[in-house]
Structure 1
Amino acid sequence: MLLIKHHGAVQGVTGSCHELFVDSDQSVLVDCGLFQGAETSGSGADANQLSIEFDLSAVQALVITHVHIDHVGRLPYLLAAGFTGPIYCSQPSAELLPLVIEDALKVGVTRNASIIEACLERLASQLVPLDYKVWADIPLHSNTSNHTKTQVRLSRAGHILGSAYVTFRVMNDAMNAQGKRYHDVVFSGDLGAPYSPLLPSPQSPYRADQLVIESTYGDRNHENRANRRKRLQSSIEHALQDSGTVLIPAFSIGRTQELLYELEHIIHQNRTKAVSQTRSGKSLNWEDMDIIIDSPLASRFTQVYRSLSQYWDKEAKRRVNAGRHPLSFEQVTTIDSHQDHLQTVEYLARQTRPAIVIAASGMCAGGRMVNYLKALLGDERNDVLFVGYQAAGTPGRDILLYHDKTDGYVLFDGIKYPIKAQVQQISGYSAHAGQRDLLNFIKRMRIRPGKVHLVHGDDNAKKTLKELIEIEHPACEVVIPS
């Protein structure tokens, strides 16, 4: 088995970064993400230790599975540390990555335009977009005794647009001496689940000698995903009975676009159906519902999503061919400027007309959603609807934990905000594969791995998934890196 070092997503679900040594002195990185939530404290994941703390001397290339910040957020620090090798990713990720990095620099590093531009130019010079299912050679230096050759291939992961799981095919003289032609190592990145809006479901590789797989939901399955649109509609209709505002925290890329897609379909099928009733007694139909997207970044991502419709699944393409606009319909209002954002928050705090607000961040740890929560969380007319994973140590997790407690509250900027709003969670909308999906990813390989590394999950999720893999595949060695 080839040596793999894990530089993140070991103690939790953020900071993904893994190093595959293809021989004794050459390696390839997979992802280089930020730590978030409770994972930003403690050894190895301190919020003030964003510099690259591991040795880069062996690293020949970086492969990015997808552009969520917990998978790419340390990329500027990697460049600053002197990494000059190629950065491989899918074609859609190459379109989205500069937007993510620009925003990350503005939020967490600097607003100096020249510094940001220099970083983006450097990124562009090293970026190597790849088509799905095509092998590409990774350049290695020739002064190795084993004459190592390494190829990489990306396959659709179904998590967000551009997401991929990565297969490395390593060939060298040492393997040939053992009568083995090559060794395939697969990194799952973040796997999506079946029936995700817009994206085709991930298909397992034919083979994997070694597998590094996420375990976010290794201890549980999602609700029935086939009926989740009905649950979303039902949850919103229930939430809007008292003419309040429904707040949906969502990441700017992936989840926001999926929600827009689902809401467009709900409106298309239920245009004249009442969704709520105002205090004056007037019914409000779905076709009149205000849907507010308060995120300039989400708006930019949505534009890229629309421009890359060739990567959508068959269902989404059929809707477009039928003349529908799944990501751009008349009920949607986009808030761009900060001043408009503040005015919208103030308006919703005193209005009686129902509305749906989708804003970042998905775990309520920052972004414009925080201002909505500060203003609206204390009003029992309002609802918070979670559709994604809430990591330990984030305000989103606290809202889920304490909303039904007497005098429950959440801390923002050191101030206690009482939780009077109703809180719901629809787990079927997670962009991550559930437990059975993860197990099926392995089960459906024709040649299954001899060794599996479990990463990107809480302790119980990894432990539970490990036990199940060992039951289903007794010959497989399952390790939980520490």
Structure 2
Amino acid sequence: MRPPKVMHHGAREGVTGSCHQLWMDDHCSVLIDCGQFQGTDEKTGDDLLALDFPIEGIKALIVTHVHIDHVGRIPNLLASGFEGPILCSEPSARLLPIVLEDAFRLSISRDQEQLERYLNTVEQRIIPLPYGNWFTLHEADDAMCKVRLQPAGHVLGSAYVELEFSAPGTAEKRVVFSGDLGAPHSPLLPDLVPPERADLLILESTYGDRRHEDRSHRRDRLQAAIERALADQGTVLIPSFSIGRTQELLYELEEILHDKNESTQATRSVGEPSEAGSDGAPDIDWPQIPIILDSPLATRFTKTYTELQGFWDEDARHRMEEGRKPLAFKQLITVDTHDEHIRIAQHLTDTARPAIVIAGNGMCSGGRIVNYLKAMLGDSRHNVVFVGYQGKGTPGRDIQTHGPDGGYVELDGERIDIRAGIDSLLGYSAHADQADLVGFVTRMKEWPTEIRLIHGEDQAKRTLAEVLEAKYQEAGKQSNVVIP
């Protein structure tokens, strides 16, 4: 059997716009993802969501996960006349309509009637596939194609895609699309387990040229950063993305609060003084610190994450069984309406009451975090803690770069001098790094005979290709690592 034909309609020359077309025979094909271009990959004007390929013969769309750079062109795909099913994991089937509703409002229309028609179409097309089971995708006299989704450990519901091709009288061929692979030690999610084999592997390479900072102690680093900030007796601002990062932060903040509470109770039970600061740590009244989640979209995702706890890892489920609420704890305050947002932001600005605020968006280029920043960046009592990558040219990058030197940032056309403290935590990337990507390959029982590297900058792809080729050579295996 000849290798299946694959075309890349995005994430070939950059890291966004993931969209790949694989032919199951001469006339029928399947799409894996249909994502929006972002950042330096972004198109302009009417081309932002445009499709530059014909949809004839595309029988199904498989979604690896619900990040906008993997699903953002679905509205255009539907508008172009695509009538096939949208296949995804069970958690993604719950999360995808929320993502697409928000994207529709921002990019297409806020008309409620039009939105409801669109969402009804989306929900009718979605077919959830349980992890780990094979499903027939295409069947003809001369060819068959089956699909299986496996957890990818990136965000809740993320999957890598296995496609198995068979034809009479020929050996089966297996193609694997990695989607976005997750890093180990992720709160809530089980660690990634690679496939047994692949003849052709389409592999992401976002961090193919670097290693992440150790993730196993990142909660301790988060606690230390927050304690440094709260010692200034002001508000801690954490810009965060609505899905994945926010839920991980809440999980780790609940863990910090739980440990602090147990430590306080243990101290009191043995009659020792309960004064904070005796060990050199800042004097912080943790039980009285409000954790404010100011993002309606993140609140919706968090509620759905909680409802999908059957897909959490063992440790997270165990906490629920103990009666803890990792994503809905007592000190968590959610802010929904705009009026409530303005009132809380003004109150914290006026009083400088110690609080932790998580708000969108993650790179400070819009959303509610901007109002907090405009009000608080000029006050040295407040602090900003970054837990995610800040893209070049974003306000977040400017604050991160110039804030420690007392510089300024422009927000909504207004110059804001930065007097607030600025801290940046590494170890929060949801992507696999170079070692994880290589491990995805070398932990297979049968290594791929061909690897195509996508979803990465040129340097990342070239570096990862060199490392993989060296691993193959070291193992005495023939390598064919391709950059399309």
Asked whether the two chains share a fold, i.e. TM above 0.5, the reply is: yes
- Residues 20/364 of structure 1: CA separation in 2 closer, same or farther (3 Å cut): farther
Q: Are 1:391 and 1:397, in contact at CA under 8 Å, matched by a contact in 2?
A: yes
- TM-score after normalising by structure 2: 0.90
Matching of residues 166-205 of structure 1 within 5 Å: 166-172=161-167, 176=169, 180-205=170-195
Residue type at the aligned position of 1:31: D
How far apart are 1:402 and its partner, in Å?
Answer: 3.5
Residue type at the aligned position of 1:284: I
1:240 alignment counterpart = 230
Q: Which one of the candidate residues 242, 247, 253 is aligned to 1:263?
A: 253
Deviations 1:220-241 (A, max 9, x none): 2122211111111011111221
- TM-score after normalising by structure 1: 0.91
- Residues 23/396 of structure 1: CA separation in 2 closer, same or farther (3 Å cut): farther
Distance 2:253 2:143 in 1: 50
2:326 alignment counterpart = 326
Q: Are 1:37 and 1:393, in contact at CA under 8 Å, matched by a contact in 2?
A: no
Distance 1:476 1:364 in 2: 43
Q: List gaps (5 residues or longer) in structure 2.
A: 265-273
Q: Are 1:38 and 1:394, in contact at CA under 8 Å, matched by a contact in 2?
A: no
Distance 1:108 1:438 in 2: 33
1:250 alignment counterpart = 240
How far apart are 1:48 and its partner, in Å?
Answer: 3.2
Residue type at the aligned position of 2:223: Q
Matching of residues 233-312 of structure 1 within 5 Å: 233-271=223-261, 272=264, 283-312=283-312
- Residues 340/20 of structure 1: CA separation in 2 closer, same or farther (3 Å cut): same
- Residues 169/428 of structure 1: CA separation in 2 closer, same or farther (3 Å cut): same
Distance 1:261 1:148 in 2: 47
Q: Are 1:386 and 1:426, in contact at CA under 8 Å, matched by a contact in 2?
A: yes
Q: Which one of the candidate residues 205, 208, 211 is aligned to 1:218?
A: 208
Deviations 1:101-145 (A, max 9, x none): 1111112211111111111111122111000000111146x5xxx
Distance 1:73 1:459 in 2: 23
How far apart are 1:363 and its partner, in Å?
Answer: 2.3
- Residues 147/68 of structure 1: CA separation in 2 closer, same or farther (3 Å cut): same
2:461 alignment counterpart = 462
Matching of residues 9-24 of structure 1 within 5 Å: 9-24=11-26
Deviations 1:422-462 (A, max 9, x none): 33222211111122111111110111112222222233222
Q: Are 1:37 and 1:394, in contact at CA under 8 Å, matched by a contact in 2?
A: no
How far apart are 1:285 and its partner, in Å?
Answer: 1.6
SS of the aligned residue for 1:341 comes to helix
SS of the aligned residue for 2:216 comes to helix
SS of the aligned residue for 2:291 comes to strand
SS of the aligned residue for 1:449 comes to coil
Once structures 1 and 2 are overlaid, which stretch shifts more, 396-405 or 243-252? 396-405
1:476 alignment counterpart = 479
How far apart are 1:58 and its partner, in Å?
Answer: 3.0
Distance 2:329 2:456 in 1: 37
- Residues 182/230 of structure 1: CA separation in 2 closer, same or farther (3 Å cut): same
Distance 2:167 2:414 in 1: 59
Distance 2:245 2:69 in 1: 15
Distance 1:458 1:420 in 2: 35
Is 1:4 the counterpart of 2:2? The answer is no
- Residues 193/338 of structure 1: CA separation in 2 closer, same or farther (3 Å cut): same
2:137 alignment counterpart = 138
1:388 alignment counterpart = 388
How far apart are 1:463 and its partner, in Å?
Answer: 2.3
Is 1:209 the counterpart of 2:199? The answer is yes
Residue type at the aligned position of 2:373: L
Deviations 1:231-280 (A, max 9, x none): 1101111122112222212111111111111110100001348889xxxx
Q: List gaps (5 residues or longer) in structure 1.
A: 277-281
- Count matched residues: 463
Distance 2:220 2:433 in 1: 20
Q: Are 1:213 and 1:454, in contact at CA under 8 Å, matched by a contact in 2?
A: yes
Distance 1:274 1:383 in 2: 24
Report percent identity of matched pairs: 51
Is 1:46 the counterpart of 2:44? The answer is yes
Distance 1:462 1:324 in 2: 43
Residue type at the aligned position of 1:399: I
Is 1:80 the counterpart of 2:83? The answer is no
Once structures 1 and 2 are overlaid, which stretch shifts more, 52-61 or 414-423? 414-423
SS of the aligned residue for 1:192 comes to coil
- Residues 69/240 of structure 1: CA separation in 2 closer, same or farther (3 Å cut): same
